[in-house]
A = this chain, B = another copy of it.
Amino acid sequence: MKLNTKGRYAVMAMADIAKCGLGGAPSKAVPMAQIAERQHISLPYLEQLFSKLRREGLVSSMRGPGGGYTLARPASQIYIGEIMQAVGEPVKMTRCNREKNESTGCIGGGDCNTHELWSALSDHIYNFLGSISLQDVIDKNVGSFGSLTSNLRAVNEKTGPEAIEEAI
């Protein structure tokens, strides 16, 4: 269960633009070559990723000298989950492609005890990434979520899920 470089690089690059593109009133375009150098990512590889980011409408591009990339929206309105999804970093914990209620989704049909676990895990990760914006990342404002769930765990260990509301 590892993160691959596509998702990681894409977020790194987006954070780089968010950080270095500031200055002008219409925010300055950041050339890809600079991003590649600062983040130590191979330029041709980065080009692949930006092709996808552009198609998904997360960045805008300008060609020619002085050109480069800008964020298509303010950093506070771009969520990590979107970036991951755009470059094809799927959050996929279940093996079957069916809907939750179809028990036939799993191999052999009907005897998959663990489907709901993996499904819940996917949701959990998805929600986490969908709740953190690029702005949060460059502000290093990510810790709160981690500590929140730590509290939940402590509650759950003692008294069970009923006490969760207290924790919030």
A137 sits at the interface (CB 8 A): yes
Size class of A's contact patch?
35 or more
Interface centre among A80, A85, A114, A143 (most CB of B within 10 A): A114
CB distance from A143 to the nearest CB of B (A): 6
CA distance A82 to B159 in the complex (A): 11
B118–A143 touching, CB < 8 Å: no
Q: Could you jot down 29 A-B contacts, CB within 8 Å?
A: A1-B89, A1-B90, A1-B91, A1-B92, A2-B93, A3-B92, A8-B95, A8-B118, A11-B114, A12-B113, A12-B114, A15-B114, A79-B160, A85-B161, A85-B166, A90-B167, A94-B168, A114-B137, A116-B140, A117-B132, A117-B142, A121-B128, A122-B168, A123-B168, A124-B125, A124-B146, A127-B152, A130-B153, A145-B161
**B-binding residues in A (CB < 8 A):** 1-4, 7-8, 11-12, 15-16, 19, 38-40, 77, 79-82, 84-85, 89-95, 107-108, 111-114, 116-133, 137-138, 140-146, 148-150, 152-153, 155-157, 159-161, 163-164, 166-168
A4 contacts which chain B residues (CB < 8 A)? 1
With A1-B7, A85-B167, A152-B131 already in contact, the answer to whether A38 and B111 are too (CB < 8 A) is: yes
A40–B108 touching, CB < 8 Å: yes
